Structure 1
Amino acid sequence: MYDEEDAPGPLVIDPQGRRKVRLRDVSVRLATLVVIGVLAVGAVGGGVGWYLTRTADETPLFTPEATLSQVEPGVTREPGSVSDIADAVLPTVVSIEVRVGQGGATGSGVVIDGENGYIVTNNHVVSGADGVEGAEIRAVFSDGSGSAARIVGRDPASDLAVIKVEKPGLVTATLGRSDGIVVGDPVVAVGSPLGLAGTVTSGIVSALERPVRLSGAGTDTNAVISAVQTDAPINPGNSGGALVDASGALVGINTAIASTGAGGSIGLGFAIPIDTVKRISEQLISTGSAVHATLGVNARSVTDGTRDGALVVNVEPGGAAAQAGIREEDIIIAVDDTPVGSSEELAVAVDARQPGEDVVLEVVRGGSSRTVQATLGAA
């Protein structure tokens, strides 16, 4: 007698009671079918692979006079785009190569008078070659041509210089205005960082009227500028190059960067404002030198915890400050109602004025403040 409990697998009872089917039998049959199916697919796949391989072996590897199809991409370069600005500005920017003995350096410059061949750059780019026998300065233009250059004039107090080339038909940069830009405006820097001519970078105006002290080994530059700050990447070799606005107008001459010990751009670049560039360049072209207003003091930055200022360390005998009664240890905290929080801010405030101009200085002496009037001298 057949005992269901001893059966090798459970039974499935047909609802009509007509037949019994073991699940194990079903699973075995199904597994068999699956295996057969897999083997069949494998056989077909292997056959197809063999056929394709054989066919590929018979196909030529080379097609003489092969031509790949091309389509014209729909590129849109709107007015004011970086590419549009670069196209207009690149012909006005030059690379400057300086050779002194066995050494050399590179920088950048901007054509400010193409008819007469005048190019503005930084003083620290060309100062090492001034008056040195055998020294050479060469300007290389965007078309790859070059020309020897001579120093027209240098101004260590603004870190600007003008050189001249004898090459007709130069493209002149369009000069903007310092009051035509605001923080957040897009700007483009063009120059030759690390000797890579015609390099274009972009960013924004990060700050205006930023007091920055300029100096460096191997140059007589000793300046404090009211800089245009930008995050457009600027690196060594950009010095003297162009900072332009969205219309392509020159708004500054790139001159310095703040960097970590490793050097290179960290998004803190500084340019001399175009109004200063224009004023100093005109003087250099006219006379070979530039004149600045001076107060006749040496100062350093101080703070008493509540107010910042410029501590007078030395007073020049017979200078504007001495005549106004300024003494050593005085702290200057304002010029014509403009707050002065550091020695750099004092230098910028004085340099923004003309020799012979009267200014009112607010001075802290012995814990109390007073005002004095000074007539600025010339330097």
Structure 2
Amino acid sequence: MSTTPDWATRDAAAPQPVPPRREHPAVSPQTAAVFGRPDGVRGSFSTEPSAQPQPEIAPPDPVLTEAFSRPADAPSSLQRDPYATYGGEVDEPEPEDPWRDPASGAHLEAPALSEPAAETARDAGPKLGITDLLFGRRVHWWALASLGLVAVLLGVAGGLVGRWTAEVIPPLNSNAVTLDVDDSTVASTDIAKVAKAVGPAVVMIEIRTAGSGGSGSGFVVDKMGYIVTNNHVVSIAANDKNAKLEVVFADHSRVPARIVGRDVKTDLAVLKVDDVENLTVAKLGDSSKLEIGQPVIAFGAPLGLDRTVTTGIVSAVDRPVPLRPDASSDTDAVINAIQTDAAINPGNSGGPLVDAQGRVIGVNTAIAATGGGSIGLGFAIPINEVIPISEGLIKDGKVTHPQIGVTASTVRNDQVFGARVKDVAAGSPAAAAGLKENDVITEFDGKPIEGADELTVAVRTSTIGQEVKYTYWRDGRTFTGTMTPRAD
């Protein structure tokens, strides 16, 4: 079957259909005369006027000419300013009249009466002299009498006030006054006596390195030049061989010092100065006899201000205070602190805390502060713990501490308060005593234990090789036992 379209088979010679011619309507002679091409013109334009009659345009109506024609004095532009007037007088706009405008707001206007005309300035007349005043009859006699009476009254009043001022009000200045000095002896207070007695035994400790420095306090404990202070005061000097360590005494004399020994677990250290004569040695007391509320005095150099004394009371005892390592100290200890409200600030560390009799009962060590300064919570290491540590450092340069071989964390819930055992070292005193993981120690060596810090203090203050009793909680039941701490 062929797919060729029909139109492709047609005969090309066959006649083709012609579309019908469209006829246009005839053009009227009038239209041809106006719009037709003139005779003899073949192109689009002709340079000669046409001989055929041309239509004439009737003149516009005079009214329209006046309304729409260009004024005679108008500029030669295609369009004139619609707001301009030509040939007429320009009326000035009338001022707004709020009385005739109902939409105007209320406001003040000029008064109804016209303003009075300004008076013409007149030349000043001749000046009135004293002769004219008294004899020229230009001032009435009663005016002169009144003026004289007023002058007399003012003079009398001024004299009376002056006399009263001179007789009643004392003068501000005087050359007859001398200041008396009382040179009689005044009895010193107890605090002043203690400050005078203990002050010479207190020193300021300065450490300088290539890139930093620091200061603290200390006190002399032996005439051979031994000085007790905190470990965190001298940590920088101990870890930097090029650091310069000096002791500044109360008389401002400076002496190089050496580190005898230090203990990071109790935050204590001992220094030594050589060739210093007539040293004042601090008297040591007994911290076990302290009572809450008794007065104490803190010595030291807070913020580098040496020979500073502050007072307060013992506000608490046996307060566990953890001291953790930081960028400037390797101390890692929990102290069984004396709490005091005597002002202690950075720089007081290592200085003595003394009682009213001038006996050292603690070493100023730490503060509790929200902004870096004292808020009335200072902490000191009891002197009864300082003495054995200091003696051990002076003797051997190091000390040992009791340990039981456990790590613990604080637990406080509705069942038990205490130190939960997290790990027990193999072969340790705790392992030999039968302690297990998750046991909670609630008492150790007669001291109640409410957390890990209390357990650390209780173990450290026990005696190496001496058996102690302890209480622990396991699976809802309480048990007791004994163990013997060993040296660390």
TM-score normalised by structure 2 residue count? 0.64
> Which residue, 75, 84, 94 being the options, matches 2:186?
75
> Which residue, 329, 342, 351 being the options, matches 1:219?
329
The number of residue pairs the alignment matches comes to 333
3-state SS in 2 of match to 1:201: strand
Aligned to 2:297: 188
| Higher mean C-alpha displacement, 369-378 vs 273-282 | 369-378
**Aligned residues of 1:94 and 1:110 also touching (Cα < 8 A):** yes
Aligned to 2:287: 178
3-state SS in 1 of match to 2:182: coil
Tell me whether 1:271 sits opposite 2:380 in the alignment: yes
Q: 1:85 to 1:328 in 2, by over 3 A?
A: same
Relative contact order (alpha carbons < 8 A, sep ≥ 6): 1 or 2 greater? 1
Q: What is the letter of the counterpart of residue 336 of structure 2? A: S
3-state SS in 2 of match to 1:253: strand
Aligned to 2:357: 247
| Higher mean C-alpha displacement, 173-182 vs 318-327 | 318-327
Aligned to 1:30: none
**Aligned residues of 2:320 and 2:337 also touching (Cα < 8 A):** yes
**Aligned residues of 1:189 and 1:201 also touching (Cα < 8 A):** yes
3-state SS in 2 of match to 1:130: helix
Aligned to 1:334: 443
Aligned to 2:52: none
The separation in 2 between residues aligned to 1:200 and 1:337, in whole angstroms, is: 37
3-state SS in 1 of match to 2:278: coil
Post-superposition shift, 1:148?
A: 0.4
**Aligned residues of 1:116 and 1:168 also touching (Cα < 8 A):** no
Q: 1:75 to 1:39 in 2, by over 3 A?
A: farther
Tell me whether 1:318 sits opposite 2:434 in the alignment: no
3-state SS in 1 of match to 2:435: coil
3-state SS in 2 of match to 1:120: strand
Aligned to 2:20: none
Q: What is the letter of the counterpart of residue 258 of structure 2? A: R
After TM superposition, the runs of 4+ consecutive aligned structure 1 residues lying more than 3 A away are: 36-43, 46-51, 66-69
The separation in 2 between residues aligned to 1:170 and 1:74, in whole angstroms, is: 29
The separation in 2 between residues aligned to 1:88 and 1:38, in whole angstroms, is: 73
> Which residue, 462, 476, 482 being the options, matches 1:367?
476
Q: 1:40 to 1:62 in 2, by over 3 A?
A: closer
3-state SS in 1 of match to 2:434: coil
The separation in 2 between residues aligned to 1:193 and 1:347, in whole angstroms, is: 30
Q: Which ranges of structure 2 fall in alignment gaps of 5 or more residues?
A: 1-151
Q: Deviations over 1:16-69 (max 9, x none)?
A: xxxxxxxxxxxxxxxxxxxx9998444432578799xxx99xx9x999xx9754
> Which residue, 234, 251, 258 being the options, matches 1:126?
234
**Aligned residues of 2:445 and 2:462 also touching (Cα < 8 A):** no
> Which residue, 369, 378, 382 being the options, matches 1:259?
369
Q: Which has the larger radius of gyration?
A: 2
Aligned to 1:7: none
> Which residue, 386, 392, 401 being the options, matches 1:283?
392
Equivalent pairs: percent with the same residue? 47
The separation in 1 between residues aligned to 2:154 and 2:452, in whole angstroms, is: 87
Q: Which ranges of structure 1 fall in alignment gaps of 5 or more residues?
A: 1-35
Aligned to 1:92: 201
> Which residue, 188, 209, 213 being the options, matches 2:318?
209
Tell me whether 1:145 sits opposite 2:261 in the alignment: no
**Aligned residues of 1:153 and 1:284 also touching (Cα < 8 A):** yes
TM-score normalised by structure 1 residue count? 0.82
Q: What is the letter of the counterpart of residue 246 of structure 2? A: R
Query: RMSD in angstroms over aligned alpha carbons?
Result: 2.6
**Aligned residues of 1:183 and 1:207 also touching (Cα < 8 A):** yes
